[in-house]
Structure 1
């Protein structure tokens, strides 16, 4: 259904379909008007007659410039109807006065399709433009020449209505479909961009939550435990010293998180040294032997891999501190061929496989597994009540460039 002023969906396709060939249609219209106007002006007829007919024909050119072309540019249906009505008003008296004007139909018939685009409206416009020629044969000139002109006009009309009209209909339909497809693609791209931004923001929030959990939260927990232990002992100096050191390291963690989001224990030092420092600190906090070993040829890894290794060691040792009550702790890193493996073992209380420390919804182990998976690795936990716990983290070990 056509609304009063515009054709649905045509605005995106109709004007643009004709914009690229606008000069060609302008030229066809001008030539189709100027040729019969020249014939009329050279005829042996009274000057007023010739000037009137030529003036009617030449008035079609400004009508196209001021009404027809804006109708196409704006895809305004009412303007198109007004333009075709104006053409009929100018062309009808010109044809009735001089048969040479029928030549202008070659340029006027396409105007109906250009401004009305397709369908019954365009065909109706062509028939309205051809009707004056039939009226001339019926009421003015019934000679053989008039009949020939009528046949020529009928042939031209059928050609434009069937051949040109069908071609134009396909072009316009394809242009409209392309415009709709482009609109859908742009909408889809905008939706994908929005979803990607939301997913990126969610991933960033999860990553920051993991960073905060692995740095600030663990550090504060350690400080609280050391202060509580100091309060329960007659000589709290050792535990207070450990609490102060942990607080300083926690502050360094917070600064590193803000500045570069790299683990502060690395602080430019080799991975092995950072792990040895973390292991020594847990031994001091718990007052138990804590050993660190390196297997294989140590080598620098990509920063992302080193971050995952350090964070996994911190999380595993934080669980040892909170849940295991161990007599000893052992941390080891194994540099293999194309793989690096972190082991964190304790001989503490252990736990059933279906009941990890902190409950099934505990964030620590979940964050550890997510980190490893993002780096292309995996985490396994082997534990049983009374047998301690072994946490193993395996990661691809691409060397740094």
Structure 2
């Protein structure tokens, strides 16, 4: 109630009532002065009382009407400004506001429109810089691939190749001992099996290291589908994926969004103990909306982000902000986690 009385409408009403009060005091002082000093026949104490009473009643009514009407118009214009600021906060920098009046609020509205244009240009600059960064990353990726191939060749030679050579030698020795001393041959075959298992483990580790973590030129929808299909083969988790059939996004935006979804799913698999995950992606009003949620254990966003998931959340937020978007996360212990992205297209 007190907050409502402090609104701009009631501020105008109070200012009008204050003006009525001051005018009443001045009129009463003048009339009493004339009555005491001159005492004209047409002026009496009763007449002064009736005049002041009627003036107060009419003044109060007019004050409420004028204050409410004028304050309502001003409140409506300020609400427009507040709505525009909210749009800017949500990343809708193309929103505009126009007033017909030629006053300070109109000037503020025009300045807000200019600010929105500048923010929109900054978003384009950020996305252009992200594209350039992606081009540099591709060049660096080529050099890294060559270096990684050399490293893998060394690892294969030092680990797997040596183990396979040892397996070959022990197998040949076992064959020679098979007829002479079967017990020794059995022990040697056990060593062969252990060495083969170590070689297999080493090879799996190398293949896991070679697993691609990017779209490789595929559309976002296809990349997410492949990622989900792979996870469904390895986990019992259920997935609900809803993605627009035609997402007209740049390669940089698709790459960043794919990595964000991949990081979110990684956190879900490692920490949430969830059984169902929902992924939604759509474009509305020149913005890409991405929603990721699970029904897992959840966590306290303010307290727990400094531990297990802080790095992943920081990476997702940075990738979103690189595209000029907004990143929001909501989570409560026992009620799952919800991640929402808004990225200008």
**Which of the pair has the greater relative contact order for Cα pairs under 8 Å at 6+ separation?**
2
Same fold per TM (> 0.5)? Answer: no
TM-score under structure 2 length normalisation: 0.39
Structure with max Cα Rg: 1
TM-score under structure 1 length normalisation: 0.34
